[in-house]
Structure 1
Amino acid sequence: MDNQIGVLKIRVKRGLNLAVRDSKASDPYVVVKTAKQRLKTRFIKKDCNPEWDEELDLPIDDPDLPIKLKVYDHDTFTLDDKMGYAEIDIKPLLEALKTTGENHVPNGTVLTKIKPTRTNFLAEESHIMWENDKVVQEMCLRLRMVERGLVELQVSWIDDPGASSS
């Protein structure tokens, strides 16, 4: 990555109340992508409330571009079915990083709260916190273009591109 400014560490925790795409359930997985990179979780068989608990390291070139998240139902003999999409806006996380700088704050300190709006994909208030010597953001994203579904994530930032462990 030529102009990489850092790495976004995305922990895809779980899906909640995802849409049914097979007879009684779905085999969901998550794809996270930028203009240059595409990463995905494993699929979980027959579960509309999957627990992925997977970390994906996504190199970032331009923090102004949204990170796209799509959920699919894995199918063996046909194209995978779409189960909704969301976007991750990392600008609030990067702003919180600037405000903490070298100041060490107590573990668990909430630095910023972001409320859900019509323009973001948040299903509930998101907290950006200082946790274990880094800035992390917990978020629950509401999937769009689907009848229902949420995805819970935790994101954090790695300044040094060489620190990526994918």
Structure 2
Amino acid sequence: MVQVHKRTLRIVAEKASNLPSSGLTMLSDPYLVFELGKQQCRTQVAHKTLDPTWREELELTILEDNDSSLLIITLYDHNIMQPDERLGQLVIDLKQYYHTSPSQGVKMEVFTCQLDQHVCPSYTIQSDIVLGISMEIPAPSSIWTRVWENQRWTPATGGWSKDNLIPILGDRKPWSSNSSEGDHFKDAIPVVPEGYKPKGAWIFNLSCCDLDGWRYAASFSGPWHASMWMSDVVRCRQWVNEYQSTETNPFNNNNK
């Protein structure tokens, strides 16, 4: 099965201004419709105003294999006795928001909505729409952390030990990970994001290694072997632990 990753698009529909007047009241009952592929959501109707304020939070899902990253926003005037009237539309390329996150704070931006010709034949009027847009990649329910235990063999003692490691030869520290290393196990434990706690105890990985979890090589640059060759003088053992998420997503908005 191919895993399709997804992002959550979060939209804060704040307000709009300079809308065209409509009907006998010379006012409007505006609302916004957001479309992303086949998905759609909309704001509530703001009644009898040319400067509506919604202050609504909405969300859509972006799949990794979506054909389009374009968010289509359409401005409508709600009517009771006849179909709602489209006032204008704008399109936003979402690629520029792929590295944003609600945790960074949502930046409100002003977007220009080009009005339809039947609403404003001369295109002299443009309405402004204030939106906040951000992306969120759902946090995994669990993450794995890895720490390497490192040793060198020396003919002087005929044994393996962390005390035999030689930094000048490019040896690692006795304990290492992708982000840190040190003389003690705790020095090498990667920083785990907030909201996760260990599921159990640390254990060594028994994949592609001997029965005690060791892999062997002539240097720490590899290549590594599951059993000791005559030229091998260093070895490492991978310790792993699973951390589970303790958090739930509080965002639950169904304005669709």
Instruction: State whether TM-score is above 0.5.
Output: yes
Whether 1:34 and 2:121 are equivalent positions in the alignment is: no
Identical-residue share of aligned pairs (%):
24
Aligned to 2:112: 142
Matched residue of 1:156: which SS? strand
Q: How far 1:90 moved relative to its partner?
A: 1.5
Aligned to 1:83: 87
Counterpart of 1:152, as a letter, is V
- In 2, the alpha carbon distance for the partners of 1:12 and 1:39 equals 11
Stretches of structure 2 lacking an aligned partner (at least 5 in a row): 121-125, 140-247
Stretches of structure 1 lacking an aligned partner (at least 5 in a row): 98-129
Contact (CA 8 Å) 1:16, 1:151: kept in 2 or not?
yes
Matched residue of 1:133: which SS? helix
Task: Please give the residue correspondences for 1:51-130 in structure 2 after superposition, counting only pairs within 5 Å.
Answer: 51-61=53-63, 62=66, 64-94=68-98, 96-97=99-100
Q: Which has the higher contact order (CA 8 A, sep 6+)?
A: 1
- In 2, the alpha carbon distance for the partners of 1:64 and 1:35 equals 7
Aligned to 2:15: 14
Matched residue of 2:106: which SS? strand
Q: Please, what is the CA RMSD of the aligned residues?
A: 2.4
Tell me the TM-score normalised to structure 2 length: 0.47
For these two proteins, the number of residue pairs brought into alignment is 131
Q: 1:74 to 1:4 in 2, by over 3 A?
A: farther
Counterpart of 1:5, as a letter, is K
Aligned to 2:252: 165
Tell me the TM-score normalised to structure 1 length: 0.70
Contact (CA 8 Å) 1:20, 1:26: kept in 2 or not?
yes
Q: How far 1:63 moved relative to its partner?
A: 8.1
Aligned to 2:186: none
Over alpha carbons, which structure has the higher Rg?
2
